[in-house]
Structure 1
Amino acid sequence: MRPRTRISSRSTGVGTVGPSAQRVFGTDPERYAVGRPGYPAGIFDTLAHRCGLAPGTPALEIGPGTGQATADLLARGAEPLTVVEPNPALAAYLRRRFGSRITIAVVPFEEIDLAPGSVRLAASATAWHWVDQDVGLRLIRRVLAPGGWWACWWTLFHDPDDPDDLFEALEPILEPLPTLPGQSRRDRAGAFAFDREARAADLARTGSFDAPEIEVFRWKLELDARRARMLFATFSPILALAPADRESVLDRIVDVVDGQLGGRVMRSCVSILYTARRC
C-alpha cells in the first residue's frame, strides 16, 4: 500500500491545533525516544487476538511520534505499515529508525489520500486527540477493509484512581505550567482519552463500526531521578517552555525525587484501549 500524499509546508503536527502545539514534539526526537516508555504488552496481545494483527497484516498508524508503538506493530507482523507523521523532524527520525520497513506520509491525517479498503488494522497511540474526530473517522472507515479493525489508545503517566507520592509532590511544580494552544487542563488530565461515552459516540456517528470494546491496563513504572527527568522532558507543557525554564522545571523534578522521595519512586500508570470492527 502506497499513500498518495503531499508534503504540507504549513503543518508541523497532527490535527488542527496551533503551530506551537504542533512543533514541540519534534524539538529533540532522540531525547523524546529515550525518555518516553513504550506501551503495555497487553495492548498488542489484544490487537493480535481480537483484531487479527499477524504477519502480513496491512496496517496504518496515525501519529507515531518517535515510534514507540510502531516498533511493536512491526514486531507483531504489521506489513506493509504506513505511518502518518506530519512533523518533519519526527518523520526524519522514523526514517532513520525504521528505514524501508515503513512508508511515511508527512502530512496531517485529515489531508491524506489512501486507497479505499487497503488496510486491515488502523491504529493510533496517544495521538488521536490531535485529529478532527469526524473527519478522521470517516477516513478510517474509508481506508479499512470491511471487517477490519480500528484501535486507539492512550497512556496516562499517573493513575487518577491510584495517586502516588510523585503525583502529589509534583503538583505545585506542574499545575502552574501554561497549556498549549488547543489544550486545556482537562486535556492534560486525560479527560479526552477516558471519556468512554464520547469516544463511543464518535464511532457511532459514522454508522460504520460495531460498538467499541474498551480495556484499561494499569501498570507500574519505576523511576529514579534521572529516569524521571527523561520522562517529564517528553511532556508537552514542559517541552513548550523556553530552554532555560524547561531545564529549571526538570531540575526541580529531580530535586523532588532525590530529596523528598529517596531517589526512587514507583509511578502508577494507566493505559486505555478502544477497539472497534468496521461493519
Structure 2
Amino acid sequence: MAESFGSDPELYDRARPTYPDALIEAVVAKGPGPAVLDVGCGTGILARQLDAAGCQVLGVEVDERMAAHARTTGVEVEVSAFESWDPRGRTYDALVAGMTWHWIDPVAGAAKAAEVLRPGGTFAVFWYVLQPPSDLGEAFAAVNRDVLPDYPAASRAAASPLGAYEHFLDRTAESLGTAFTAVERPTFPWSRTYTRDEWLDQLRTSGMAKPLADAGKLDAVLERTGAAIDAYGGAFTLDSTAVALFATRT
C-alpha cells in the first residue's frame, strides 16, 4: 500500500494539504542547523515548505514516480525504502516524516534515524488529521458502513480519525529507545475549506484508494461521499489538528 500513491503523482501533489505554518516553524526552531532529511517525501509537499523556510532538504522516497515529480519541483530525492537507505556517512540536523512514518518499520526506522541524526538533532514525525464537522463525519461513516460492512474500523476512522493517529504516535514513542530524549507530542490546529470535488480528489490519494479500487468499491464510496457533501451544501470547513512527535538525538 505504501507504494500505491505514485499512480497519479500530479493528483497527489494537488489534492494533499500543506502543513500548518506553526508546525513548520517549530521544526525549523528545534533543529540545530538547516540540513533536513525528509523520509517518505512523496511529491515534495513538505520539502518545499521547509525549503521556503530556509532548510536544505534531501528527500528519501520509495516510489520512483513520486520522486520524479518531486524533482520537477526542485526537490533533491534519493529512491529507497528508508530502512535500507544508505546515508553514505551523511548526517542531518533534523529528520522529518509527514504522513509517512506509519509506513516505516518502527524499530528499524528509529535505529536508522539515530544513525543519521547528529547529536542534538531533531526527530519530528507528524500527521494531519482530516476531521470533518461531526454531522458530516457521521454521514461519511454511514457511507463506509454501507459500502464496507466487513471493515468497521473504516467507518470509525471516517467519523473520528484522531484515534488512528494517536496510535501511530504511541507506537513511535515506544520504539525510540535510549538514543532519543525530550520526547514531546505537540499539536497544531489548522483549518481549510473543501469543495465536494476537492474532498473527493484527496480521497483518491488516500491509502485505501487502491484496495477499494481493486475490490470494485472505490466508485461507490466516492459517489456516496459526494452526495453527502452535496446534501451538506457542496462544501465544508475542516477545523482540524496536526499531531506530532518530537524528540532529540542524545
Say yes or no: TM over 0.5. Answer: yes
**1:121 equivalent among 75, 94, 97:** 94
Change (3 A) 1:27 1:178: farther
Native 8 Å contact 1:120 1:144 kept in 2: yes
Judge conservation of contact 1:218–1:269 (CA < 8 Å) in 2.
Answer: yes
Q: Deviations over 1:249-272 (max 9, x none)?
A: 2222221111x2012211232211
CA distance in 2, matches of 1:174, 1:267: 19
Gap runs ≥5 in structure 1: 1-20
* Higher share in helix: 2
- Which of the numbers 249, 257, 265 marks the counterpart of 2:229? 257
Cα distance in 2 between the residues matched to 1:190 and 1:133: 20
Query: Hey, what's the Cα distance between the residues in 1 that align with 2:143 and 2:164?
Result: 23
Per the alignment, residue 241 of structure 1 pairs with 212
**Offset of residue 67 of structure 1:** 1.7
Aligned length: 243
Match of 2:182 among 200, 205, 211: 211
Q: Which runs of 5+ in 2 are unaligned?
A: none
* Identity within the alignment, %: 27
Question: Equivalent residues in 2 for 1:126-145 (5 A)?
Answer: 126-145=99-118
Q: Which residue of 2 aligns with 1:10?
A: none
Amino acid across the alignment from 1:257: I
Secondary structure at the counterpart of residue 59 of structure 2: strand
Q: Which residue of 2 aligns with 1:95?
A: 71
1:77 lines up with 2:50 in the alignment: no
Question: 1:35-91 deviations in whole A, cap 9, x for unaligned?
Answer: 1111111111101222246xxx11111011122211111111222x22111112111
Structure 1 residues 179 and 169, CA gap change in structure 2 (3 angstroms): same
2:125 corresponding residue in structure 1: 152
1:1-279 equivalent positions in 2, closer than 5 A: 21-52=1-32, 57-79=34-56, 81-98=57-74, 101-102=75-76, 104-116=77-89, 118-158=91-131, 163-175=133-145, 176-177=147-148, 189=161, 191=163, 193-195=165-167, 196-203=169-176, 205=177, 207-242=178-213, 245-258=217-230, 260-279=231-250
Q: CA deviation at 1:187?
A: 8.1
User: Which amino acid is 1:73 matched to?
Assistant: L
Corresponding letter in the other structure for 2:103:
W
CA RMSD of aligned residues (A): 2.5
Q: Which amino acid aligns with 1:255?
A: A
SS in structure 1 of the partner of residue 4 of structure 2? helix
TM-score, structure 2 length as denominator? 0.87
Cα distance, 1:277 vs structure 2 = 1.0
Q: 1:187 to 1:123 in 2, by over 3 A?
A: farther
Shift of 1:276: 1.0
8 Å Cα contact 2:2-2:207 kept in structure 1: no
One-letter amino acid of the counterpart of residue 256, structure 1: A
